[in-house]
Structure 1
């Protein structure tokens, strides 16, 4: 899914919510689904960029970031969680 398709799907979900055709829970699920699909289909404009997901225990589990390597992904996750890289005890794998 490209960025434009993702934005259109999110806009449609919001329109349905505003029109009362969907409740907040359904809208959240739909938007999360669009975002997850976009992240897993992500192909960066810059060569080497891809989506990586943290898998393991703790707050990092399930986080998806875009980076050019597993080590860069680990650093981005550490920055997002405001924790030292050494404390991020997860496996980082391409999505």
Structure 2
């Protein structure tokens, strides 16, 4: 999915919400799906989405990275935690 397609899909989701054709939870899910699809479908890049589970400091954090070790480091950086914080990563999609 290219950037223009992603933006159009998000606009469609927002328009449906504004017109009362979709509730907030459904709109959020549509937007998240568009973002994850966009973030993981780069033609020349084998990136994937990963969700951290475990410690409250990182639980639920989703990152896009080319590998699990790089995803783990990105989670640590974004959540400002050190190596002592333990968590698992689940590959999404």
Distance 1:18 1:44, change over 3 A: same
TM-score, normalising length from structure 1? 0.66
The aligned counterpart of 2:42 is 43
Alignment match of 1:66 (pick from 48, 55, 64): 64
Q: Normalising to structure 2: TM-score of the pair?
A: 0.67
The number of aligned residues is 92
CA RMSD of aligned residues (A): 2.8
Unaligned runs of 5+ in 2: none
8 Å contact 1:74–1:92 — kept in the other structure? no
SS in 2 for 1:85: coil
**Structure 1 regions of 5+ residues with no counterpart?**
none
Q: Once the two structures are superposed, what CA deviation does each residue of 1:15-61 show, in whole Å capped at 9, x if it has no partner?
A: 1122222222221122122223333x43266x5x5124145423445
**Distance of aligned partners of 1:11 and 1:84 in 2 relative to their CA distance in 1, 3 Å threshold:** same
